[in-house]
Structure 1
Amino acid sequence: MGDLTRRRVLQAAALSAAGALTAGCSTGGDPGGGGSVAAGRLTWWDHQNQLEPAKRKIFEKFAAAEGGVPVDYTYNNPAKLGQALQLAKQSNQLPDVHSNAGLQVPVPQLIAGGWVGPLELNDAALKRLDGKLIEGIHVFDGKVHSFPIFDYHVYSNVTWFNTKLVGQAGLDPEAPPRTYDEFRSAARAVRDSSGGKAQGWIWNIGMTDRIGDQVNVLAQAAGFEGGGGVLYRTGEYAYHSEPYLTVIEFLLSLQQDQLLVPGSQTLIDDAARTRWTAGIAGYYFDGPWCPGVALKHTPEFAESLGVGPVLTPNPGEPATYRGTQGGEYWITPSTKMAGQANQLLSDYFTTEEYSVEIANTMSQPPRDLGAVEKSTAHPAYKKLITWFADQVFLAPEAVVRNPQTSKVGAETKAIKPGLGDIVQGAFSGDVTDVPAALKELSDKSNAERERAVEAAKKKGAEVSLDDYAFPNWKPRADYGKDQY
């Protein structure tokens, strides 16, 4: 199990194994994997509900192609996939292909633990991926283990809204709120005009990993000069800095002003999104995948779909930062279907056609951004992608400068409570001193980084804390290869 702790496994086992292993929709068949299902069938698990239509088309084509086989596909909510994979690993039933959402373990640890193995993509696929594969992110010890299907121009805290409720409140759907004050005013207007039928805002506070990522984005838009709590110039963790405090204070104030849907503290994204489309709230924070999921289940909501960019404390164009897009699909080393899995990934999932399909389903921006205009995506989605192009900049990454820092990642232990846990605790009242909790998180994170660096060095890695500092970084600019 690598560093996946017994406590995590026991927590996963507390769920119904059958429910966890069959969540979502499947093409049928036993969801077990690693060659454990009927001979000649490939198993695939992931968390990409919005991409299911595109994958179904591909799986049908692959089953009919020379050398192809049927594919048993299972969707798991991002909050559940990690638990399902842990249970499957224990019983030697990992699927042949899977995404890693929810495992929260660095890829080198997954490799060492037998969760993922190298791919054997064909020459045509490698040519399409030229320049997109980075050692320490997609390539490990010279072997390709995964590849990006999405572009890095993305953030997870988009301001989605119901244009019908907004219009009824006397607000202009073409002028979405951009600042904290504008958002608070708009949310209050929606609540007050609904006659008690709707609140201003709903959020998936039950997903600590997701809200942690969203708060990181909001902190960048509030002026934090780093990512994931780390200052780019110094490499130090600074969760306790002013931008994070400003963001969390703003979010909590929305609850204090009774603008948040009651019960949001325990909601995951599927439930929050469903309630939002049902008209229970005017605004919902979610990623670009929101319309792809929402309109799949409630296509009539397309007439009420509106979008705004990430919020900022004060007027001005937001700036956010994102590292190289990681891989999405990984192969299980024990699979008996390696040849078919590599054929499927090479011939279908590295192509421009798949980028268009991704855009059609309104997932994250596809690796080929030009595919968005060729797609049938909702106008709100297309508008959002143009904002991403102006508001998201390529961040510096230690692993790009020095691939051996991936070995530090393999030694690093997760700090608990993390950012999402602290934010969730602040909403529930369990965390009463947010500044102190954030300072403790910064201190523990810095100490763990130092410990992990030393541990990696003892095992032969040529790394140092200097690998994480980029003194020449500048805000509102991409950090290109020539700057390393």
Structure 2
Amino acid sequence: MQIFSSTFGRRSLLLGGAAMATAAAGCSIDTGTPSAKPTAAGSEAAAEFVFDTTGVKLPTDKVAFRWLDSGDLKAKYLDPVIASFGEQHSNVTVTYDGAGWDQVNQVVPLGIRNGSAPDVFALPQNVPPQTAIAEGWVQPLDSVIPNFDKWRAAFPDTALIPGIHVFDGKVYSWPLNSTRRLEKMLFTSTDLADKAGVDPDAIKTWDDFRDAAKKLTGAGKPGYLVTGDHLWVVAMYLANTAGWRGVMTDGLDMRTGKYSFASDEFISAVEFLKSLVADGSVVPGYLTLKDADARAQFPAGIAGSMFNGPWDLRAWKEKSPDFNFTLNPLPSPDGKPYHIPFAERGANQTWLYAKTPIPEVAGVILNYLGSVEGQTKMVELTQGTLVSMIPEANESVDHALLDPNAKKAAELARELMRAAPQLELRTADAGKIKMELKPVEPGLQNVMQGIMSGQLPDAKKALAELDGKLQAALEGAFTAAKAAGADADFQQTVFPNWDPSKEYTQADYDALG
């Protein structure tokens, strides 16, 4: 089986508002840690990138181009590409600023007010795309990217989604990479496992993991690392291994259109986590630990094991080259195979400033970034940790440039993850519905913290109350959107032909009529 050779399916549903307020934060699709100081032309342009400027009238005077986003792994790709453009066009001073989400949240709104926003930027976390468009922050890409029709045609038919990337028939943003990647796999410190007599490859069931965590703890280090701000993600993934049909990341069962956090499968995942705490196997003070900080400490031996995604592989390799670990799929309750349903809407979107004085520069760079050649380079420069939504790009990579652990993570994602149906591909008015979705407080993140801390002793009751609030918010959004003239029928969230063990394809949408 080839690691980067299959057509990636769709992912997504009605996320946003109530669902992600469920978590009070997004999943770890993008950890958003700063990628170091802003860099300019010449900093990392080790590779040659060919930019197509055919028919484009680029500026000849001195101009400055700035790109601002949350940084992290994607900086390994964006930084050298943008720097290379500056090297090839000496009159253009370029800056890639991967400064983290705090900087994005502050700088972009201020730049909009002052008329000096970066030419390309990530939207602040509290600004929906519809708001940015309505307020005139951003502009569509259709007339900016050269040979736009050819550029768009390289993506799968369902890659650019109404209400996420496409608004009023215009493409405003696009997914830099796929979200078909497991946010939670089992990572185990090889050295600590050897010391404790634990074989990570033999951990297949929840009981296997519980026993291994006890042994690791008994050998001198906490057996398991989990953090308060990611308990909810861990619980969702564990519940999926038990057969729960909640779709990452909002937990809606797309077969019924219902939330089911109080289901037996989810409750069993919660009880499993509580058993690890009761065993004394969890890192002390885990409820106040921040996930990004804790993950960075894993190579130093903060714990023997953790459930983590692939985003730290590159950082661990660079900063802790002597750290040895194993990577395995999550255990399931009885060791049986499972599937993780997910919504493929892509990750790491950026937007073009409506008042940029040099849209031609942005267009040429964006044209390369989203091309088959550019997407192939993305996979290679991130050593396989980022995967493209363009199948041809994944098939074209030089496998010698990929990190073995990243390749294994990608392979596991292909084996275990299945694209679920999503509302945005059923109604073009999904964005209007989403705008009516009211946040639910407390969300899943706070409810999970309350359960684990003992403040909410009846987990089933607390989660049932959350289900009710989320359901009311979702149905209320449909009612409000319909009253405003949108194509909004709550039955659009119900996909009776969805089989969570299979990819949900365009043919499945068509079969609904």
Normalised-by-shorter TM-score class: 0.7 to 0.9
Instruction: Tell me, in whole angstroms, the C-alpha distance in 2 between the residues paired with 1:130 and 1:319.
Output: 23
The question of whether the paired residues in 2 share the 8 Å contact of 1:220 and 1:319 is answered with yes
CA deviations on 1:273-305 (whole Å, 9 max, x unpaired) are: 12111112111222121202322322332xx03
Structure 1 residues 14-93: aligned runs within 5 Å: 25-27=36-38, 40-66=63-89, 69-77=92-100, 82=105
* 2:320 pairs with one of 278, 284, 298: 298
Give RMSD over aligned pairs: 2.9
Moved more, 413-422 or 123-132: 123-132
Q: Which residue of structure 2 lines up, in the alignment, with residue 187 of structure 1?
A: 213
* TM, length-normalised to structure 2: 0.79
* 1:129 pairs with one of 133, 138, 155: 155
* 1:226 pairs with one of 224, 246, 250: 246
The question of whether the paired residues in 1 share the 8 Å contact of 2:246 and 2:253 is answered with yes
Instruction: Tell me, in whole angstroms, the C-alpha distance in 1 between the residues paired with 2:380 and 2:472.
Output: 41
Uncovered stretches (5+) of structure 2, i.e. residues with no partner: 1-15, 22-31, 41-61
Q: Which residue of structure 1 lines up, in the alignment, with residue 340 of structure 2?
A: 320
The question of whether the paired residues in 1 share the 8 Å contact of 2:64 and 2:92 is answered with yes
Q: Which residue of structure 1 lines up, in the alignment, with residue 331 of structure 2?
A: 311
Q: Which has the higher contact order (CA 8 A, sep 6+)?
A: 2
The question of whether the paired residues in 1 share the 8 Å contact of 2:139 and 2:353 is answered with yes
Amino acid at match of 2:439: A
The question of whether the paired residues in 2 share the 8 Å contact of 1:47 and 1:101 is answered with no
Instruction: Tell me, in whole angstroms, the C-alpha distance in 2 between the residues paired with 1:335 and 1:381.
Output: 37
Q: Which residue of structure 2 lines up, in the alignment, with residue 379 of structure 1?
A: 404
Instruction: Tell me, in whole angstroms, the C-alpha distance in 1 between the residues paired with 2:253 and 2:95.
Output: 43
Structure 1 residues 187-206: aligned runs within 5 Å: 187-193=213-219, 196=220, 198-205=221-228
Moved more, 78-87 or 43-52: 78-87
Aligned pair in 2 of structure 1 residues 275, 138: CA closer, same or farther (>3 Å)? same
The question of whether the paired residues in 1 share the 8 Å contact of 2:33 and 2:71 is answered with no
Aligned pair in 2 of structure 1 residues 346, 455: CA closer, same or farther (>3 Å)? same
Q: Does 1:149 align with 2:176?
A: yes
Q: Please report how far the alpha carbon of residue 86 of structure 1 lies from its aligned counterpart in structure 2 after TM superposition.
A: 5.7
The question of whether the paired residues in 1 share the 8 Å contact of 2:38 and 2:99 is answered with no
The question of whether the paired residues in 2 share the 8 Å contact of 1:45 and 1:75 is answered with yes
The question of whether the paired residues in 2 share the 8 Å contact of 1:310 and 1:318 is answered with no
Amino acid at match of 2:203: P
CA deviations on 1:228-258 (whole Å, 9 max, x unpaired) are: 2211111112221122211122122222221
Instruction: Tell me, in whole angstroms, the C-alpha distance in 1 between the residues paired with 2:396 and 2:212.
Output: 34
Q: Does 1:365 align with 2:376?
A: no
Aligned pair in 2 of structure 1 residues 373, 423: CA closer, same or farther (>3 Å)? farther
What SS does the corresponding residue of 2:96 show, helix, strand or coil?
strand
Uncovered stretches (5+) of structure 1, i.e. residues with no partner: 9-20, 30-38
Instruction: Tell me, in whole angstroms, the C-alpha distance in 2 between the residues paired with 1:306 and 1:254.
Output: 21
* 1:425 pairs with one of 446, 450, 463: 450
Q: Which residue of structure 1 lines up, in the alignment, with residue 59 of structure 2?
A: none
Instruction: Tell me, in whole angstroms, the C-alpha distance in 2 between the residues paired with 1:402 and 1:60.
Output: 40
Moved more, 112-121 or 243-252: 112-121
Instruction: Tell me, in whole angstroms, the C-alpha distance in 2 between the residues paired with 1:93 and 1:213.
Output: 37
Instruction: Tell me, in whole angstroms, the C-alpha distance in 2 between the residues paired with 1:22 and 1:262.
Output: 24
Instruction: Tell me, in whole angstroms, the C-alpha distance in 2 between the residues paired with 1:83 and 1:203.
Output: 30
What SS does the corresponding residue of 1:422 show, helix, strand or coil?
helix
Q: Does 1:482 align with 2:504?
A: no
Q: Please report how far the alpha carbon of residue 443 of structure 1 lies from its aligned counterpart in structure 2 after TM superposition.
A: 0.8
Q: Which residue of structure 2 lines up, in the alignment, with residue 98 of structure 1?
A: 121
Aligned pair in 2 of structure 1 residues 469, 179: CA closer, same or farther (>3 Å)? same
CA deviations on 1:49-99 (whole Å, 9 max, x unpaired) are: 123232221122111234983332333445875466566666666433233
Q: Does 1:263 align with 2:285?
A: yes
The question of whether the paired residues in 2 share the 8 Å contact of 1:359 and 1:371 is answered with no
Q: Please report how far the alpha carbon of residue 396 of structure 1 lies from its aligned counterpart in structure 2 after TM superposition.
A: 0.5
CA deviations on 1:306-341 (whole Å, 9 max, x unpaired) are: 101133222111201112223522223343343322
Aligned-pair identity (%) = 29
Q: Does 1:239 align with 2:250?
A: no
Q: Which residue of structure 2 lines up, in the alignment, with residue 346 of structure 1?
A: 367
**Structure 1 segments (4+ residues) deviating >4 Å:** 21-24, 76-94, 113-116
CA deviations on 1:17-65 (whole Å, 9 max, x unpaired) are: xxxx995522258xxxxxxxxx832332323412323222112211123
What SS does the corresponding residue of 1:199 show, helix, strand or coil?
coil
Aligned pair in 2 of structure 1 residues 248, 338: CA closer, same or farther (>3 Å)? farther
* 1:442 pairs with one of 464, 467, 476: 467
Aligned pair in 2 of structure 1 residues 354, 472: CA closer, same or farther (>3 Å)? closer
Q: Which residue of structure 2 lines up, in the alignment, with residue 289 of structure 1?
A: 311
Moved more, 66-75 or 143-152: 66-75
Aligned pair in 2 of structure 1 residues 430, 379: CA closer, same or farther (>3 Å)? same
The question of whether the paired residues in 2 share the 8 Å contact of 1:138 and 1:326 is answered with no
Q: Which residue of structure 2 lines up, in the alignment, with residue 280 of structure 1?
A: 302
Instruction: Tell me, in whole angstroms, the C-alpha distance in 2 between the residues paired with 1:221 and 1:317.
Output: 8
The question of whether the paired residues in 2 share the 8 Å contact of 1:234 and 1:471 is answered with yes
* 1:212 pairs with one of 211, 232, 257: 232
Amino acid at match of 1:299: P
The question of whether the paired residues in 1 share the 8 Å contact of 2:184 and 2:307 is answered with yes
Aligned pair in 2 of structure 1 residues 450, 181: CA closer, same or farther (>3 Å)? same
Instruction: Tell me, in whole angstroms, the C-alpha distance in 2 between the residues paired with 1:402 and 1:67.
Output: 46
The question of whether the paired residues in 2 share the 8 Å contact of 1:399 and 1:405 is answered with yes
Aligned pair in 2 of structure 1 residues 337, 437: CA closer, same or farther (>3 Å)? farther
Aligned residues: 448
